Amino acid sequence: MSLDPLFTPVKLGAIDLKHRVIMAPLTRLRSRQPGDVPQALNATYYAQRASAGGLIVTEATDIVSQARGYPGAPGLYSDEQIAGWKLVTDAVHAKGGRIVVQLWHTGRISHSSMQPGGTVPVAPSAVAAPGDHMNAQGQPVLFETPRALTLPEIATIVGQFRTAAVNAKKAGFDGVEVHGANGYLIDQFSQDGTNKRDDVYGGAIENRTRFLFEVVDAVTDVLGADRVGVRLSPWGSFNGMHDSDPGALFDYVSEQLGQRRLAYLHVIEPRANQNSDTNALDPHAPDAASRFRARFGGPLISAGGYTAETGAAAVESGKADAIAYGRLFIANPDLVERFQRTAELNRYQRATFYGGDAKGYTDYPALETADAAE
**DSSP character string of 136-149:** TTS-EEEPPPPEEP
Distance of alpha carbon 359 from its chain centroid, rounded? 23
Instruction: Describe the crossing of helices 246-259 and 210-223 by its angle, rounded to 10 degrees.
Output: 20
CATH number for the domain that contains residue 114: 3.20.20.70
SS3 category, 276: coil
Cβ proximity of 303 and 266 under 8 Å: yes
Type of residue numbered 363: D
pLDDT digits 0-9 by tens, 52-84: 999 999 999 999 999 999 999 999 999 999 999
List the catalytic residues: 184
Which residue range forms the structural domain that includes residue 309? 4-373
The domain total for the chain is 1
SS3 category, 218: helix
Secondary structure E strands in the chain: 10-12, 15-17, 21-23, 55-62, 98-104, 122-123, 132-134, 140-142, 147-148, 175-179, 228-232, 264-268, 300-303, 322-325
| Nearest-angstrom CA–CA distance, 152 and 156 | 6
| Nearest-angstrom CA–CA distance, 303 and 270 | 9
Does pTM top 0.75 for this prediction?
yes
pLDDT, tens digit only, all 374 positions of the chain: 699 999 999 999 999 999 999 999 999 999 999 999 999 999 999 999 999 999 999 999 999 999 999 999 999 999 999 999 999 999 999 999 999 999 999 999 999 999 999 999 999 999 999 999 999 999 999 999 999 999 999 999 999 999 999 999 999 999 999 999 999 999 999 999 999 999 999 999 999 999 999 999 999 999 999 999 999 999 999 999 999 999 999 999 999 999 999 999 999 999 876 666 655 678 888 999 999 999 999 999 999 999 999 999 999 999 999 999 999 999 999 999 999 999 999 999 999 999 999 999 999 999 976 555 54
